[in-house]
Amino acid sequence: MVLPKGNTNRESLPTSGIAKSYVICGLLLLCMFFMDTEIFAYSVGLSSKESGHPKVTLVLINRLSLDDLLGRENSYLGQMIRQGSIGLQNTRTGGGLTAENAFVTLGAGLRMVGSAACQVALPAGSEYKGEVVGDVYRRYTGLDASADALVVLDIENIKANNLASIGTLQVGTLGETLKKAGKNAAVVGHADNGSQYQRWGALVAMDAEGIVPVSCMQDLTTRDPRFPTGERTDVQALANAYAAVRAMSDFIVVDFGDLDRIEEERRQLAPKLYHSYRHQALADADELFRHIMEEIDLTTEWLLVVSPLPAYTEVVEGRLLAPVAVWGPNISPGLLVSSTTRRRGVIANYDIAYTILEWLNVKPPTHLPGASIIGVENVGDRQSYLGDLLQRSGWTYQQRPPLLRAFVSLEIAVYLTVFGLVIFFVTLPKLWVSFFSFALLLIASIPLALLFIPALKPATISQSFVYTLAAASLITGFVQHFIEDTEIRYAFICGLTALAVVIDALFGGSLIKLSPLGYDVMLGARFYGIGNEYMGILIGASLVAVLVATHHLTHNFLVLMWLPVITFVLAMPNFGANAGGMLTALITTIIVWALTYNISPGKIAITGGLLLAAVLGLNVLPIGGIGSHVGRALKAVLTGDWPSILALVERKAAMNFRLMRYSMWSKGLLVALGVMALSVYRPTAVVQSVLKKYPAARNLVFCTIAASIMALIFNDSGVVAGGTTSVYAAGLILNLILEERREAQPKC
């Protein structure tokens, strides 16, 4: 493919224009810099400065639902919830949504995986299968453990699994960091089922060698043939064990195992009995909570209630967020949030380990991705807010895959069909041309329709399909009726789409967060900013709108300034927060300006350098303590943290490799790029006619291919970003060629 020449019909940008561009970029940066200060900071850590010896108690009530937590108004737990902050945690792990993965993730402060026998944790001085546990542990690890210490016998298998799947051996980070700081972790309680050990709490408190220094596991249950598995937690015994270990521990994990026991026999239970048993267990949990509250001092200690996994009824509905409640110093009534999510009422499960370390005045390791959990002001009624957030996030989780598969499949089918028609047929019937022109414009309208779908609150997959198709059809019909020129039609749709994405991002991304083409809080790959899908949409749509406009407007300088605008929006930690998108938009801006105004290489270098310095500064020196994952990566480069950078590059490469092999987006990307490349590489007579009639087309194809490749390189989901970037230009080129075929049709 030959590099397109600059627009020879336009004069080079005068020196005053270059200066004007620098001034406007500077003003734009300054405005966004001050806009940054208006966003509340989530990264302020909370530590106990009032107490010289703070404590943290983590109560594990697994398989808890939001209704379980908030639906007990008259309970002791309910009274305390009104005094603390609550929220929902993303439960994603390094593997599937299983107990072994969830509990190892909590203790590691990273998304990790467990092992088949990781729940077997026993005192080193006890016996297991006829052997002393300490001897077995020594045989497996080569290490000694004190007789009183609790040891996870499968620790080496846990490490091996994480090395193979995640590429790290850093398990038990929470316990290991506390040990190095001279602080003790303890575990009391379990979910043992007869002869089967279910000691999940040990996975949260253990150090890197699978050891918990303080524990109490004996005589904590009572036989009850009327309860699932035939035994249940002895609340008084568990409360006594908690009181006994407090003096020896700084961090205490209390594992209330009855909901796990009920879940163990869920399939054998009648639905009414299942709910009745849960009600009984929650009443016991409330009694346990009363005992714990009698022991702790909330002016100097923190108390967390965490459900590592969602309740089964929530899982089947696609609601994979689990409840969390926090009380303690500086925790006022409200909603939980962290700078990981920047979303009121939502935290990540790996934020918990990070926060516990900060509360205990221990510096978290640099490799931990989490952030401090804090409480922020309520948004109306907490129960209604969190319930709506959970429900709508569940809808997005269920609707996203089929909608995106349908969108990409439609794109591939229509683009290949039209490409085949214009290649093999010299003339085409008018009806065919009208139909496929509508179909091509419909594809261009779908991303805009998907952005506004959350406002309609579709509750089912069928509703979301109908709403999306109806909205896209209305947009397409309106544009076809009122705009005759195909090029202007695309410019209008693309300009409207790009503007809508930017406005939504500037106002908090309320539509992007719930759009099927946005990101999914359940999956937890991203919680804020502009995701890779809409990042590609924004850049691809902006290219079409800007390049078409520059060839239809006499004064186009302000139009070209839209590209620096989206570069800054993508760079801003509080708006776009997309490093790959920022670099893609930056390079694309330079290419477009160079092709449009024949700017010399020196001026290109100066312009690019100024823009790059500005957008990097927004992330390296964030205002208000906000920062982002972009800023953390840049700081790692500046501080020479090359292991972290290497891990980041490897992760991005691995993700792109997987997506290229298995994702539908890879097919869409290849089809769109192939259509554009084949259309302009040694173009046929009809393509030459189109390129002559529409001067913006050649530059548009080149810039879009370059942007798609940059998006592929700079993003960990670059296949997705490249696929969405290329949607519009490929569709426009095909539509122009299609229109040319109709015009070539002989008139009767």
Span 62-85, pLDDT tens digits: 999 999 888 777 788 888 888 899
Q: Indicate the pLDDT class of residue 667, thresholds 50, 70 and 90.
A: confident
Residue 24 predicted with pLDDT over 80: no
Mean pLDDT of 417-440: 90
Q: Indicate the pLDDT class of residue 648, thresholds 50, 70 and 90.
A: low
Among 7-11, 322-326, 409-413, 552-556, the least confident range: 7-11
- Residues 60, 22, single domain; the answer is no
Query: Which residues are within 8 A (CB) of 172 and not within 5 positions of it... i.e. 6 or more apart?
Result: 107, 108, 155, 206, 207, 208, 209, 210
- Residues 569, 457, single domain; the answer is yes
Residue 599 predicted with pLDDT over 90: no
What per-residue confidence (pLDDT) applies to 639? Answer: 57
Q: What's the DSSP call for residue 53?
A: S
pLDDT tens-place string over residues 693-733:
888 888 898 899 999 988 888 777 778 888 899 999 999 99
- Residues 317, 441, single domain; the answer is no
- Domain-located, residue 627: yes
What per-residue confidence (pLDDT) applies to 562? Answer: 92
Kind of pairing, strands 301-306 and 321-327? antiparallel
Residue 560 predicted with pLDDT over 60: yes
Residue 261 predicted with pLDDT over 90: yes
CA distances from 10 to 590, 595, 694 (A): 17, 11, 15
Q: Which of 366, 389, 412 marks a domain boundary?
A: 389
pLDDT tens-place string over residues 227-260:
999 999 999 999 999 999 999 999 999 999 999 9
3-state DSSP: the chain helix, strand, coil percent, rounded to 5? 60, 10, 35
- Domain-located, residue 115: yes
Q: Indicate the pLDDT class of residue 268, thresholds 50, 70 and 90.
A: very high
Task: Judge whether 346 and 521 are in contact, CB under 8 Å.
Answer: yes
Q: Which of 389, 411, 443 marks a domain boundary?
A: 389
- Residues 122, 225, single domain; the answer is yes
- Domain-located, residue 405: no
- Domain-located, residue 414: no
Q: Which residues pair with residue 461 across a beta bridge?
A: none
Q: Indicate the pLDDT class of residue 617, thresholds 50, 70 and 90.
A: low
**Domain count within the chain:** 2
- Residues 29, 109, single domain; the answer is no
Which has the higher per-residue pLDDT, 410 or 650? 410
- Domain-located, residue 76: yes
What per-residue confidence (pLDDT) applies to 654? Answer: 60
- Residues 573, 697, single domain; the answer is yes
What per-residue confidence (pLDDT) applies to 423? Answer: 84
Residue 179 predicted with pLDDT over 60: yes
Query: What amino acid is encoded at 40 in this protein?
Result: F
- Residues 62, 25, single domain; the answer is no
- Domain-located, residue 397: no
**Residue span of the structural domain in which 253 resides:** 55-389
- Domain-located, residue 412: no
Among 228-232, 275-279, 521-525, 545-549, the least confident range: 521-525
Please count the other Cβ atoms lying within 10 Å of the Cβ belonging to residue 587.
Answer: 22
Mean residue pLDDT of the chain comes to 85
Q: Indicate the pLDDT class of residue 500, thresholds 50, 70 and 90.
A: very high
What is the rounded CA–CA span in Å between residue 261 and residue 258?
Answer: 5
Residue 16 predicted with pLDDT over 80: no
- Residues 26, 60, single domain; the answer is no
- Residues 117, 203, single domain; the answer is yes
pTM, two decimal places = 0.86
Please count the other Cβ atoms lying within 10 Å of the Cβ belonging to residue 427.
Answer: 12
What per-residue confidence (pLDDT) applies to 194? Answer: 80
Residue 632 predicted with pLDDT over 90: no
Nearest to 114 by CA among 192, 210, 179: 210
Q: Indicate the pLDDT class of residue 2, thresholds 50, 70 and 90.
A: very low
Which has the higher per-residue pLDDT, 328 or 720? 328
Mean pLDDT of 537-566: 87
Domain with residue 106: its CATH number is: 3.40.720.10
Angle CA(137)–CA(143)–CA(148) in degrees, nearest 5? 65
- Domain-located, residue 403: no
Q: Which residues pair with residue 376 across a beta bridge?
A: 335
Q: Is 65 helix (H, G, I), strand (E, B) or coil?
A: coil
Which value, in Å, is the radius of gyration of the alpha carbons in the chain? Answer: 29
Angle CA(368)–CA(373)–CA(375) in degrees, nearest 5? 170
Task: For residue 437, give both structure tokens.
Answer: 């022109």
Q: Identify the sign of the CA torsion 577, 578, 583, 588.
A: negative
pLDDT tens-place string over residues 342-398:
899 999 999 999 999 999 999 999 889 899 999 988 777 888 999 999 999 999 999
% of the chain with per-residue pLDDT over 90:
58
- Residues 269, 383, single domain; the answer is yes
Nearest to 31 by CA among 506, 640, 711, 712: 506
Task: Judge whether 107 and 171 are in contact, CB under 8 Å.
Answer: yes
Per DSSP, helices labelled H in 209-267 are: 235-245, 258-264
Residue 96 predicted with pLDDT over 50: yes
Strand ranges (E), 594-636: none
What per-residue confidence (pLDDT) applies to 652? Answer: 60
Query: What amino acid is encoded at 312 in this protein?
Result: Y
Q: Which of 389, 412, 443 marks a domain boundary?
A: 389
Q: Identify the sign of the CA torsion 558, 562, 567, 573.
A: positive
Task: For residue 655, give both structure tokens.
Answer: 């993700």
What per-residue confidence (pLDDT) applies to 640? Answer: 58
- Residues 490, 559, single domain; the answer is yes
What per-residue confidence (pLDDT) applies to 415? Answer: 94
Mean pLDDT of 459-482: 96
Q: Scanning the structure block, which residue is given the tokens 């005053």?
A: 16
What per-residue confidence (pLDDT) applies to 82? Answer: 85
Kindly state the helix (H) or strand (E) to which residue 212 belongs, with its residue range: strand 211-212
Q: Indicate the pLDDT class of residue 36, thresholds 50, 70 and 90.
A: very low
What per-residue confidence (pLDDT) applies to 103? Answer: 98
- Residues 293, 439, single domain; the answer is no
